[in-house]
């Protein structure tokens, strides 16, 4: 199977500089001339990864600060409470209001996912042709507009303008967010280009740690602001400020073309078509195809969990918005501990493939545990999911690292666009599946059946993790050495 190092003809050893390799500060990046980003560009050379990590942290912190209040805002919409255009009250009970709120959330998530589906391929090719920075700026602008709309939809006890057609405008904000793209496309493309086989696992670990900290700090900050002010709208405006800070980091600290070179032979725009994107990138090898299936099934199950747990906890365990935020805090607290403590230890003592297996098995167990807890009256036991899910999260950086080594540097943008495409398909279908299952099981004898369905969906990822055989780094280095020797002989 193709490896980035072998296909580029570069020996990937730290400190090894082959003849004719251009300096990272020039635009003379030529794949045919055996050029490559310096092997020490993993955060210790000219190209740093801290701006990516900081931008992801601020972006996800703003997102997870706002997420618990999205269902609260929609729950007060006229559609959810049953107010007709004439102002007559339909007299819905709590269960009916929550089911209609879940339907609103599913429509919003699906609308955002459908728009991401349209733009994912274009943004991936854009990264490979133009650069990652414009894509990141576009993504952050869309997130900013979405949060502003959500803040204006939230009722304020201090007065001020409030959007009346809440459901419609939340959908509009979701559409804008989807069309502007996903920050992870640009961020992972950035990291994939500046990483080597020996540093990719570590470099992809840092964004995962940042996401975990954001899941913890974001909701916790939201709780403190809500407790101090009693206003959900102020929480959302603070999320807007954080998103603006992430945009500022991208504008001021992300390198441009000169520090992050682009191939002289850029991708064609036609490769943004979903069929070509998936065929050219994800079908390049058997291992790459296996990684794609793992990513899709894992994301499908996780998206079912994310889109349904808030309404489930409100109905079955009478959780409030603060309790839901506390659950996110606990999840965010466990995730960095697993990423910074368990993951480095496993990488030192085992292999990336073993870490991948451990992560997917833990994810499966977290779904089964949530299903069992949902059959009991002890809602606080649901916090145990945070530990299992945190261990499951260690699979994601390993999956990204292994996948990034299957394609050359010039295709990193399309690789992560294809991965985002699959994630987006799962985002589009998972809320619909969640809505279908919960509308038939919520309030019944098996109210947590949605987690059981999610566990079945992640089984293919677990199975493939035990059978996939990606090339080893030593094989890749051997191929790279042969390629370098052949180039020297030609010269």
* 340-362 pLDDT per residue, tens: 888 888 888 888 889 999 999 99
Considering 61-65, 230-234, 270-274, the range whose residues carry the highest mean pLDDT is 61-65
Q: What is the pLDDT of residue 145?
A: 93
Average pLDDT, the chain: 77
Within a domain: residue 152? yes
φ/ψ region of 131 (left if φ > 0, alpha if ψ in -120 to 50, else beta) reads left
Q: What is the pLDDT of residue 294?
A: 92
Q: How confident is the model at residue 240 (pLDDT cuts 50, 70, 90)?
A: very high
Contacts by 362-365, CB closer than 8 A, 24 or more apart: 362/388, 362/389, 362/391, 362/392, 362/394, 362/395, 363/298, 363/301, 363/302, 363/388, 363/389, 363/392, 363/395, 363/458, 363/461, 364/392, 364/455, 364/458, 364/459, 364/462, 365/392
Which tens digits make up the pLDDT trace of 425-439? 887 788 788 888 988
pLDDT tops 90 at residue 144: yes
- CA gap 209, 215 in Å, rounded: 10
Q: What is the pLDDT of residue 266?
A: 59
Q: How confident is the model at residue 24 (pLDDT cuts 50, 70, 90)?
A: very low
Q: What is the pLDDT of residue 37?
A: 38
Q: What is the mean pLDDT of residues 265-276?
A: 64
Higher pLDDT, 206 or 200: 206
Q: What is the pLDDT of residue 453?
A: 92
Q: What is the pLDDT of residue 476?
A: 44
Q: How confident is the model at residue 213 (pLDDT cuts 50, 70, 90)?
A: confident
Q: What is the pLDDT of residue 91?
A: 63
pLDDT tops 60 at residue 42: no
Q: What is the pLDDT of residue 246?
A: 93
- CA gap 207, 43 in Å, rounded: 13
The residue among 439, 476, 433, 435 whose CA lies nearest residue 456 is 433
- CA gap 361, 357 in Å, rounded: 6
pLDDT tops 80 at residue 94: no
| Neighbouring-strand partners of residue 89 | 83
- CA gap 60, 240 in Å, rounded: 12
Number of structural domains found in the chain: 1
Q: What is the mean pLDDT of residues 445-465?
A: 91
Q: How confident is the model at residue 220 (pLDDT cuts 50, 70, 90)?
A: confident
Within a domain: residue 404? yes
pLDDT tops 70 at residue 30: no
pLDDT tops 60 at residue 237: yes
pLDDT tops 60 at residue 38: no
- CA gap 53, 211 in Å, rounded: 9
- The CATH number covering residue 440 comes to 1.20.1250.20
The residue among 366, 369, 358, 390 whose CA lies nearest residue 462 is 358
Within a domain: residue 332? yes
pLDDT tops 70 at residue 134: yes
Within a domain: residue 251? yes
Q: How confident is the model at residue 264 (pLDDT cuts 50, 70, 90)?
A: low
Q: What is the pLDDT of residue 116?
A: 81
Cβ neighbour number for residue 416 with a 10 Å cutoff:
31
Q: What is the pLDDT of residue 143?
A: 92
User: Please, which residues have CB within 8 angstroms of residue 410's CB and are 6 or more apart in sequence?
Assistant: 31, 128, 263, 265, 266, 267
How many angstroms separate the most distant Cα atoms in the chain?
84
Within a domain: residue 29? no
Q: What is the mean pLDDT of residues 294-321?
A: 85
Within a domain: residue 178? yes
Instruction: Tell me the residue range of the domain where 240 lies.
Output: 38-476
pLDDT tops 80 at residue 475: no
Q: How confident is the model at residue 488 (pLDDT cuts 50, 70, 90)?
A: very low
The residue among 180, 213, 275 whose CA lies nearest residue 54 is 213
Which tens digits make up the pLDDT trace of 403-421? 888 877 777 777 888 887 8
% of the chain beyond a pLDDT of 70: 78
Within a domain: residue 18? no
Within a domain: residue 491? no
Q: What is the mean pLDDT of residues 290-311?
A: 86
Which tens digits make up the pLDDT trace of 382-395? 899 889 988 998 89
């Amino acid at each position: 199977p193709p490896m980035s190092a072998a296909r580029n003809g570069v020996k990937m050893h730290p400190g090894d500089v082959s003849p004719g390799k251009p300096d990272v500060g020039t635009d003379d990046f030529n794949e045919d001339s055996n050029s490559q980003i310096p092997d020490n560009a993993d955060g210790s050379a000219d190209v740093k990864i801290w701006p990516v990590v900081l931008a992801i942290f601020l972006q996800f912190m703003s997102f997870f600060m706002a997420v618990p209040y999205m269902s609260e805002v929609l729950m007060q919409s006229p559609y959810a409470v049953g107010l007709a255009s004439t102002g007559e009250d339909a007299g819905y009970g709590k269960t009916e209001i929550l089911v209609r709120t879940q339907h609103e959330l599913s429509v919003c998530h699906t609308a955002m996912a459908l728009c991401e589906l349209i733009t994912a391929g274009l943004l991936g090719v854009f990264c490979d042709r133009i650069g990652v920075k414009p894509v990141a700026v576009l993504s952050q602008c869309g997130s900013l507009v979405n949060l502003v709309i959500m803040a204006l939809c939230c009722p304020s006890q201090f007065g001020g303008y409030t959007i009346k057609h809440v459901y419609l405008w939340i959908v509009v904000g979701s559409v804008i967010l989807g069309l502007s793209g996903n920050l992870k496309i640009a961020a992972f493309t950035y990291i994939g280009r500046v990483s080597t086989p020996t540093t990719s696992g570590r470099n992809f670990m840092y964004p995962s740690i940042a996401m975990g900290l954001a899941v913890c700090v974001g909701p916790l900050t939201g709780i403190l602001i809500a407790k101090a002010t009693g206003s959900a709208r102020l929480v959302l405006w603070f999320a807007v400020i954080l998103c603006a800070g992430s945009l500022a980091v991208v504008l001021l600290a992300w390198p441009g073309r000169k520090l992050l070179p682009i191939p002289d032979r850029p991708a064609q725009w036609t490769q943004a078509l979903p069929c070509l994107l998936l065929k050219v990138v994800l079908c390049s090898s058997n291992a790459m195809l296996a990684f794609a299936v793992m990513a899709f099934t894992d994301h499908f199950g996780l998206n079912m969990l994310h889109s349904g747990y808030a309404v489930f906890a409100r109905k079955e365990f009478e959780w409030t918005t603060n309790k839901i935020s506390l659950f996110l805090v606990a999840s965010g607290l466990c995730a960095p501990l697993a990423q910074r403590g368990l993951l480095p230890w496993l990488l030192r003592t085992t292999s990336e493939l073993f870490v991948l297996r451990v992560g997917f098995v833990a994810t499966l167990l977290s779904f089964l545990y949530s299903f069992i807890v949902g059959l009991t009256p002890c809602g606080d036991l649901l916090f145990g999911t945070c530990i299992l899910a945190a261990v499951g999260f260690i699979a994601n950086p390993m999956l990204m690292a292994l996948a990034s080594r299957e394609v050359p540097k010039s295709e990193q943008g399309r690789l992560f666009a294809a991965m985002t495409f699959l994630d987006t398909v799962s985002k589009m279908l998972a809320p619909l599946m969640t809505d279908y299952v919960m509308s038939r099981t919520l309030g019944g004898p098996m109210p947590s059946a949605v987690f059981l369905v999610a566990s079945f969906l992640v089984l293919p990822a677990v199975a493939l993790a035990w059978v996939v055989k990606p090339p080893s780094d030593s094989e890749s280095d051997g191929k790279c050495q042969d390629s370098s020797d052949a180039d020297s002989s030609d010269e």
